[in-house]
Amino acid sequence: MTLRSGLLMIGLLLALLYPLSQSIWGERYRIQSGTPAGYVIPSQYSRVLSLGNRGLLSDLLFLKAVSFFGGRSIAGQKMTAEDWNYLVTSIEVITDLDPYFLDPYFLAEGLLAWDAGLPLKANEILDKGIEHRPDDWRLPFFVGFNLFYFVQDYPAAADYIMRAAQLPGSPDYLQTLAARLAYYGGKSMTALLFLREMIEEADDPLLRKRLAKRLLALEGAVKIEAAVAKYIEAEGQSPKTMAALVDKGYIDALPEDPYGGKWGLLQNGRVFSTSKFADHVIESEPGN
């Protein structure tokens, strides 16, 4: 067989395998999207069933949880209350089996706090991580951010951020950020710092993609807030409409919200979007 004929044969095989592989992956996601949430064996029984291999069972349950959410997300299906309960329980069991396993804590922060609207549940899981990974500044940083951004408990948020700032490897700006959180201000800018840190640390491609989309939305909010500040300084009052920022040249154009929402302005000068920076895949919170 000549080199040319060999290359032609390889090319033919690849051409045949590609549609087959696409079909297999499409069927895989179809099956995953239709998979019910199911039952998660409680931690006290999972420890026994692991037969001393808690780390391995924790890894398997984590992959199952990520695959479950990924199937729902790729298929564009809504996460139901049952689905979120399954994910919450899975992460709780995973971190009970292996409390030193970092990825589940990132999953809790990236999905439960933002997508499920359960920041306190995310913090409960993150506090477990803080107990077992006391030198990891990212975990108290996440808890502090949730307290600030979602719960509006600024003193408690400042305490956690300051705790994170004192740990090795933490960014220099955390000291300033902690002081800033003690007195409310710059919510969107604080969120930008947080999300950039999350994207840099997250390994899961799906989570990184979701965080990057949220970062883009917040960058738009920060850009508008800067224009509003300039408007107030020059005009002596807040703009009555978003269009006034463009009409008077304080911003070239309003950035698009990647979630499809419309920008608005609160009386205190804060910018918001009708989308609330969410894909609207949640039907109701667990327990409702």
pLDDT tens-digit readout, 246-268: 999 999 999 999 989 999 887 76
pLDDT recorded at residue 129: 98
Residue 261 backbone zone (phi > 0: left; psi -120 to 50: alpha; other: beta) = beta
Answer yes or no: are the C-beta atoms of 264 and 274 closer than 8 Å.
yes
Does 173 or 125 have the greater pLDDT score? 125
Could you list the residue range(s) of the whole structural domain that residue 64 is in? 35-101
pLDDT digits (tens, 9 = 90+) for 76-93: 888 999 999 999 999 999
Residues 6+ apart with CB under 8 A from 176: none
* Global confidence as pTM: 0.62
pLDDT of residue 156: 87
Pick from 1-5, 161-165, 241-245, 270-274: least confident: 1-5
Q: Of residues 44 and 177, which shows the higher confidence score?
A: 44
21 within a domain of the structure (yes/no): no
Q: pLDDT, tens digit, for every residue of 182-241?
A: 544 456 666 777 778 778 877 778 878 888 888 898 889 889 988 998 999 999 988 988
Please check the confidence at residue 176 and state whether its pLDDT lies above 80: no
Find how far residue 9's CA is from the centre of its chain: 45
Q: How far is residue 47 CA from its own chain's centroid?
A: 29
CA torsion sign, 43 to 49 to 54 to 58? negative
Residue-wise pLDDT tens digits, 50-73: 888 899 999 999 999 999 998 888
Number of domains the chain is built from: 1
Residue 55 forms part of a structural domain: yes
- Percent of the chain topping pLDDT 90: 40
- pLDDT surpasses 60 at 285: no
The region that residue 241 occupies, defined by phi over 0 for left and psi between -120 and 50 for alpha, beta otherwise, is beta
Q: Is residue 46 part of a domain?
A: yes
Of the candidates 78, 113, 85, 84, the one whose C-alpha atom is nearest the C-alpha of residue 283 is: 78
CB 125 within 8 A of CB 133: no
Q: Single out the residue of 138, 65, 4 nearest to residue 73, CA to CA.
A: 65
Residue 244 lies in a domain: no
Residue 83 domain flag: yes
pLDDT at 271 over 70: yes
Q: 242 in a domain, yes or no?
A: no
Which residue type occupies 111?
L
Q: Is residue 74 part of a domain?
A: yes
Distances (CA, A) of 46 to 50, 52, 99: 6, 10, 14
Residue 150 has pLDDT above 70, yes or no: yes
Residue 46 has pLDDT above 80, yes or no: yes
Residue 175, pLDDT score:
62
Is 20 a domain residue? no
DSSP 95-109: HHH-TT-SHHHHHII
Helix (H) or strand (E) holding 263: strand 263-265
| Per-residue model confidence (pLDDT) at position 122 | 97
Confidence check: pLDDT of 45 > 90:
no
- The predicted pLDDT at position 286 comes to 38
* Cα 107 from Cα 102, distance rounded (Å): 9
Q: Which ranges in 34-137 belong to alpha helices (H)? A: 43-49, 54-74, 81-97, 103-107, 119-132
Within 8 A by CB and 6+ apart from 48, the residues are none
Q: List, for residues 199-209, the tens digit of each pLDDT value.
A: 887 777 887 88
